Structure formats: C-alpha cells, structure tokens
Amino acid sequence: MRHLEWIARDRLNKFRDQLRKVESAEFLNNSTSVALRSIENEIDKLEKTIDELSKLSSAKYLFQHGVTINQKLFSYSNALGVLLRSTNLRNAFEAYFAFNQMAANVIDQQDRLIISSEWDAIPFYIPSPPDALASFVIIGIPAFASRNSLLLPLAAHELGHAVWRIKQLDGPLSTTAEMHFHDYIDQNSDRFRTDFNLHENLFVQQETDLIESECLKLVSSQSEEIFCDFFGSLLFGESYLYAFDAFLSPGFGRREPRYPALGRRAAYLKRAALSDPKSLRKGVLNPEYFELADGIPSRSAIVKLADEVSEKLEPGLLEQARRYANEARAELEGGDNADTMMMNLRAGIPPDQPRSAVEILNAIWKVYFERLDQETSAVGRTNIHSSMNNLCLKSLEIYEYRYRQRNGWSTK
C-alpha cells in the first residue's frame, strides 16, 4: 500500500470513528442522526474512490483525491462539532419536536433541523453548510441561553434565514432593489453627488457603479434580516418581541451596517406582531435605548443610502414573510384555548392540551410578566424565571406527547 493511500484511508477511518461516537450519544434527535448518516455516505464515496485509484500505476490521481479528502474533512469537521453539541444536555430538547415541525412545514423536508448549543454570543444560522448537509437547517444557540426556553422564539429568526436561502428569495429582490437604487439617484441627483463628493469627479459613472455594488450588498443583507424579523414576529407574535428585547436590549453601543438600525427593527416587529401597539408591555423595545445604540458611530453616506433603498422593500418583504410564517405553523386541533392555558400556568401547572409552541410561548411570557409585577427582589425574580422556564419546557413536552398520541405516532 502506497504512503498516500494509507494516509487517506487512515484519515477517513478516524473521521468515521468520530461520526459513530457522536451517533452513540444518549440524546440524539432524528435530524442529527440523518445528518450523521449523510456525512458517512460521503465518507464511503471518498473511500470507494480510493479503491479505484489505488489500482492505477500513476499516483497523480491519488494525490489529487488526497487533496479533495483533506478539503472535505476540513469542512465536515466544523459541522461534526455542531452535530456533537446538538446532543449536549445544554440544549432544550423538549422544544425540538415543535420546531422541527415548523421547519419541515416550510422547507418541505422532514428531520432537517439541527439546533446546537454553541459558544457564539449571538444566535446564528449556518448559510453555507457542506454539500452533504445542504438540505439541513443548522441553528446555533448561545450556550448560556440554550436552556432558556423563553428565548426560543428567536430561533424563528434563524429559521427565516433558512427559508430565505432555500426558497431563493434574494433573486427577485435584487432586481427590485436595483430599480429603487436608480430611482433614488434620478430623484435626488444633486444630493447623491454631494453625499459622495462626485461634483468634481471626472469618473462619475465608474464611481456610481462602485457605490451601487457596495450599496446593494448592504441592501441584500439588511433585507434578509428584515425578512427574518418579520417572519419571527409573524410566527410567534408578542413572545418574539419579548424574547428579542430580553436578548438584545439595549443594543451593543454601535450600529452594524449589515443590519437595519435597532430602532427600525423594533418598529418592524411591532407592526408585524401587534394589532394594537398599546398592548406591548411598557419599557419593552424602548426606542430611546435603541436610538442611543444606533447613534454610535454616525452613519456613512453608503449606509444611509442602503437604509433608504431597503426601506422601500419592506412591504414586499412583509408579504413574503407572512406567506411563509403561515406555512410554518403547526397546531394540535382542539387543544386548550389561551385562557385555559394561562389558568393552568398561573397555578404552576402545565396545560393538558397545549395547542402549539407559539401559544405556549405567548402564554408563558404573559404569566411571567404577571409574576414579575408582584416581585421586586432580584432573587425572587430569578426564581420566577426558573419556574416559568421549567413550565415552558414541560408544556412543550406535553405538546409533543399529545400530538403524537392524536396522530397515532410513537410516544416513546
């Protein structure tokens, strides 16, 4: 056996061993199991190619395949780490079934949702997974928040990113964004030239082309975030707003141009989630805090222009988000209504027939706030949060059990 062949086989065997160790985890959900098998199938293909190339006298093609193996294992190693952490006890496994349902409804494939406890400070979605995992929705939740069930609605924002990618919503958007960009220039020619110091520039068209390219990149990124905020707030309603506020308020002290300003995001959320803006709890999504966060540093001309263009796209983004949020919904027919659920939760009892994860989270947040209003001490409020967190997780478990029971599925 040639040295190159041995190295390649040894690496694949060691990687396969790791796959099987992850697959033996006690808390292995269906999606993670399917993902592991998808990667192992890829490893098997790579190994079969070695079998064929090892028969050739020349080592040229074996060398090239060895490079391919290294590249593949490099990309799959990060993915394997996420899959491993998806089996960790830090995860809110009780929520997996309900969120997997929502993901399956909107991307038209079963068992493709990976939710993993990660060491990033902000929830994230992996937009470009390795080829073997291209059909999967991979969401990372900060480890310190991964068992905080009250923040679960934020996963809907990350699911929105998957919808954006899989449904290829950026394609039609780019043409509309370009149209709005040129409309702005036509209607504000002098202002545009002043903002970008183009009055004395001999290469106005070339500079304008560069500005357009950079602006539309920001518009594309901002539009995706706007869509995901709309999607999350339309899917979860008020609980998304409360989770957003609990996690992000009052901001990070500076504006990230790839995102809309926090003040704008808050306005989107309220418009999408609330029929009556006055129903929102006082102090939540405080515009004064967000204005301070967005004001440092001041916006550049390119960011201001991107903001104006992306704002023109909001109605279309809201319409698309509403369509896919409606598709994502999963409910237990004939379940408890909101009043019955809240009556049980106030008594410290999970509902017997919770209708959906959405209704559970909305009821949990309402009762949580009711209890907070009666407690002023930090210790007391921490205990309330712990109690409501446990009630939420138990309610999600009951929802899964009742749904499986109603549909004749295994309840084990």
pLDDT at 292: 77
Residue given tokens 């040129």 in the structure block: 182
Co-location of 342 and 323 in the same domain:
no
Co-location of 183 and 298 in the same domain:
yes
The Cα–Cα gap between 366 and 341 comes to: 11
Co-location of 321 and 366 in the same domain:
no
Residue 90: CB atoms within 10 Å: 16
Residue given tokens 């074996």 in the structure block: 62
Q: Considering only 198-202, 248-252, 284-288, 319-323, which range has the smallest mean pLDDT?
A: 198-202
Answer whether residue 267 is part of any domain.
Answer: yes
Co-location of 111 and 236 in the same domain:
no
Residue 10, pLDDT above cutoff 70: yes
Distances (CA, A) of 209 to 181, 189, 214: 11, 14, 9
Answer whether residue 68 is part of any domain.
Answer: yes
Confidence of residue 8 (pLDDT cuts 50, 70, 90): very high
Co-location of 42 and 137 in the same domain:
yes
The region, left, alpha or beta by phi > 0 then psi within -120 to 50, assigned to residue 253 is: left
Select from 328, 362, 390 the last residue of a domain. 328
Select from 128, 152, 176 the last residue of a domain. 152
**Tokens representing residue 38 in the block:** 């998808």
Tens digit of pLDDT for each residue in 145-181? 999 999 999 999 999 999 999 999 988 888 999 999 9
Domains held by the chain: number: 3
Answer whether residue 193 is part of any domain.
Answer: yes
- In this structure, what are the phi and psi dihedrals at residue 344, rounded to the nearest 5 degrees? -65, -45
Q: Give the residue-averaged pLDDT of 305-327.
A: 96
Answer whether residue 205 is part of any domain.
Answer: yes
Tens digit of pLDDT for each residue in 230-271? 999 999 999 999 999 999 888 887 888 999 998 889 988 998
The Cα–Cα gap between 16 and 76 comes to: 11
In eight-state DSSP terms, residue 198 is: -
Answer whether residue 95 is part of any domain.
Answer: yes
Co-location of 230 and 275 in the same domain:
yes
170-187 and 301-312 helices, crossing angle to 10°? 120
Answer whether residue 411 is part of any domain.
Answer: no
Co-location of 209 and 267 in the same domain:
yes
The Cα–Cα gap between 134 and 138 comes to: 10
Co-location of 32 and 85 in the same domain:
yes
Structural domain containing residue 58:
3-152
Select from 328, 350, 370 the last residue of a domain. 328
Co-location of 262 and 344 in the same domain:
no
* Strand 124-125 relative to strand 113-118, pairing: unpaired
Co-location of 147 and 181 in the same domain:
no
pLDDT at 412: 63
Answer whether residue 160 is part of any domain.
Answer: no
pLDDT at 232: 97
Answer whether residue 159 is part of any domain.
Answer: no
Co-location of 190 and 148 in the same domain:
no
**Tokens representing residue 191 in the block:** 């202002």
pLDDT at 299: 64
Co-location of 146 and 170 in the same domain:
no
The Cα–Cα gap between 270 and 241 comes to: 8
Q: 74: burial class by Cβ within 10 Å (0-12, 13-18, 19+)?
A: exposed
How high does pLDDT run on average in the chain?
Answer: 92
Confidence of residue 298 (pLDDT cuts 50, 70, 90): low
Tens digit of pLDDT for each residue in 341-362? 999 999 999 999 999 999 999 9
